[in-house]
């Protein structure tokens, strides 16, 4: 009885096959690394954009506060014309009373009018001082918004640069992935299965 025939041996594993496999594995490892770096720059870009957005919100809040302070200052100053008109009327009353007496003696009515005039003058000064204080506070807030605007622009510039870096690394990863897939197809394709088709391409690592 003839001995049973053994199955034909498979294709020998040569060192070149191992080298090809290592080369392909290294290529996809490099692609993965490039995409990781791109994702890192993307996160930094988004973080700086978020910071800029928070500062812009703060700027709008401070601008509103400055506007309210200026409106209060204008309201305070708006009370002064009425006081000045009242004071002018009191001064006319003093003059009329003095003219009637010939300027010889000043009665209690005149001194009372003069006292009221001084009180109004003091009130006008106080209102002017209050309005200036409000305007000063508004100016400080406006200056603060200018400083924050510079900081916002700095964060946006950093975000733009980080986005450019992320795009650059993504493009490098895409080019390397395309080259790796084409090289793998050209080198390993002829060494495929018995039907002559090459091995399926390994999935891209994103």
Of the given ranges (66-70, 77-81, 95-99, 118-122), which has the lowest mean pLDDT? 95-99
Q: How many residues in total does the chain contain?
A: 206
Residue 196 pLDDT > 60: no
Q: Is residue 115 part of a domain?
A: yes
- Does residue 87 contact residue 95 with C-beta atoms inside 8 Å? no
The mean pLDDT value for 146-164 works out to: 95
CATH of the domain at 98: 1.10.287
Whether the predicted model's global pTM rises above the 0.75 cut: no
- Does residue 148 contact residue 62 with C-beta atoms inside 8 Å? yes
Q: Is residue 135 part of a domain?
A: yes
The mean pLDDT value for 169-194 works out to: 73
pLDDT recorded at residue 118: 93
Count the domains in the chain.
1
Q: Is residue 38 part of a domain?
A: yes
Q: Is residue 127 part of a domain?
A: yes
For residue 69, give every residue at least 6 positions away whose Cβ sits within 8 Å of its Cβ, in sequence order, or none.
Answer: 134, 135, 137, 138, 141
> Measured between alpha carbons, how far is residue 7 from residues 73, 194, 195 in Å?
101, 15, 18
Handedness of CA 76, 81, 83, 84 (dihedral sign): positive
Which range of residues forms the domain containing residue 131? 31-186
Distance, CA of 53 to CA of 47 (rounded, Å): 10
Q: Is residue 87 part of a domain?
A: yes
Q: Is residue 158 part of a domain?
A: yes
Q: Is residue 11 part of a domain?
A: no
CA-based end-to-end distance of the chain = 59
**pLDDT band at 60; cut points 50, 70, 90:** very high
Q: Is residue 63 part of a domain?
A: yes
pLDDT recorded at residue 194: 41
- Does residue 174 contact residue 34 with C-beta atoms inside 8 Å? no
């Amino acid at each position: 009885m003839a001995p049973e025939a053994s199955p034909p041996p498979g294709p020998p594993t040569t060192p070149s096959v191992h080298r090809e496999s290592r080369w392909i594995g290294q290529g996809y490892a490099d692609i993965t690394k490039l995409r990781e770096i791109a994702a890192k720059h993307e996160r930094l870009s988004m973080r700086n954009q978020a910071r800029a957005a928070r500062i812009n919100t703060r700027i709008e809040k401070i601008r509103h506060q400055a506007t309210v302070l200026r409106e209060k200052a204008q309201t305070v100053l708006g009370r002064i014309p009425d006081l000045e008109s009242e004071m002018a009327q009191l001064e006319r009353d003093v003059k009329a009373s003095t003219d009637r007496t010939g300027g010889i003696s000043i009665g209690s009515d005149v001194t009372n009018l003069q006292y009221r005039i001084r009180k109004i003058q003091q009130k006008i000064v106080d209102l002017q001082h209050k309005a200036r204080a409000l305007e000063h506070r508004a100016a400080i807030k406006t200056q603060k918004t200018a400083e924050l605007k510079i900081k916002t622009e700095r964060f946006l510039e950093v975000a733009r640069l980080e986005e450019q870096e992320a795009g650059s690394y993504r493009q490098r990863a895409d080019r390397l992935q395309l080259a790796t897939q084409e090289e793998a197809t050209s080198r390993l394709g002829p060494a495929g299965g018995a039907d002559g088709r090459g091995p399926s391409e390994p999935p891209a690592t994103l």
